[in-house]
Structure 1
Amino acid sequence: MLRAIFFDAVGTTIRPEPPVAEVYARFALRYGLQLTPEELRQRFQSAFSRQRELDRRQHWRTSEQRELRRWRCIVQGVFPELSDTEAIFRELWQHFARADSWACYPEVADVLERLAARGYLLGLASNFDERLRRIYAGLPCLHRCSCLLISSEIGWLKPARQFFETVARTVRLPSQEILYVGDDYETDCLSALEAGFQAVWLNRELAANSPNHELPNDAATPLAHGAFPPSNLPEPPAESVTGPRSCPVSMRNTQDVRPIQITNLEPLLALLETSSPPLP
């Protein structure tokens, strides 16, 4: 029986508002750089991917110091025209530390409220740094999540198994009683399944790119085992698996399953309809 549900942060429950590329373009102008959001988006993805590869080589260990180094290097990679990027890095770091630079997706508050009313323990577990605590504090839509776990404090990034083991230890539940919901097919969902969690893949891009897409009929049935047979789900889009937020993980325990796929959080209410834990 499921007793706890943990959500990823960026791309799952919250998004930067305005988008990252637009913010970078605005700050670039202050330093005399006229760059388009699309150009900056491509630079950002490349710089992020280089740091992600470094994380992989370091076996997904992290810390607050590592996160500062990561974002300094990303800003340097995005703005090679600047001989000194420390000032713009500090401005961007502080911008994305503010809650008013972020917004919850429209359905988040209602879904969390209704899941909490059913008796689930709710939490956020995300690859982030200490700024997420300030963001969380300033976004009431997230406050039904009573547990906040951040990779820089845990010491491990997803997809490390140790990240998910820390989640389970924190809430004192066996992994099979925890559902993880995230927007990254491999980093969030396959790694959660491998750690023994149940998993749901939130593929918002599918809804944006294919507005008439309908989930398979099975997706309307109550959640039972955390995954449907592969034949019941479409293949994950290539960009969802190989994009800058993804990384390879072993699939030794997940070869015959895929995470349930949804395009926003509302279907969780139907998926979990008969799986509610006993109310305290």
Structure 2
Amino acid sequence: MRSLRRDTVLSVAQLTELLGVSHMTVRRDIAVLEREGRAYSVPGGVRHASPMHEEPTFATKAGTELAEKAAIAQVAEALLHDDMTIYLDAGTTTGALVPAIRARSGMTVITNDNVIVEDLTGSATVDVIHTGGRLDHTNRSTVGRLAAQTLRQLNTDLAFISTSSWDLSRGVTTPTEAKVEVKLAALDGASESVLLATSTKFGTFGMYDVVPLRRFDRIVTDDRLQAAAADGIRDLGVELDLAHAEPTEDAVPGIRAVRAGESARH
């Protein structure tokens, strides 16, 4: 299939007419491009990865994809056990793990997320360490060199990393330079790393590279991720869990999740 111009969205019908081939050939070629991280499926067609110029605010993220985030957290919960030291990256997807953490004993949570700290305040079973650093007002978290320096002095059993943009070819990216050093320091200090991100963020990229997807031991996302993209992630040697959330207004009822370690294919 000839290359697509950046940000162009073409339907299967358009591609069939342009290329003079069958619908089946077009869909097969789209799957190949998607598995290679060169294009991404949209309903009825295909597009290139989309640039993200700025991070959504905390208020925006907190009110979207609640069922998906809760389902992802339910899968990630299986990775937790008592007496762990974990890092929770700033984000509403990682924040959905807080109830499971509060239910454990002997937990130590390191985070740069002010909201997570507030939600864990008063829990007698959780020791909390805030990284400090420069305040990102819109995301209610801290970023920059000082936060990274704190993380470089700490070792964790498990780091849960969040992102607002990820794809196969570029990995995890961000439009905010001050977040890069923090994420890298958290990954360097972790025995195991897990990316938690909804599938709607897949196929988008920010200006600054963080790490390729193969840097993670496991990725947990929702099962709306396209099958070809899921296969591409598995080709990297990364464990992939797809969480299923019923489309309900409530983030909790109706959730059915694939537990960590199970095979989850379309």
Fold-level similarity (TM above 0.5): no
User: Which has a greater percent of helix?
Assistant: 1
Greater relative contact order, per chain length (Cα 8 Å cut-off, separation 6+): 1
Please, what TM-score do these two structures have when normalized by structure 2? Answer: 0.34
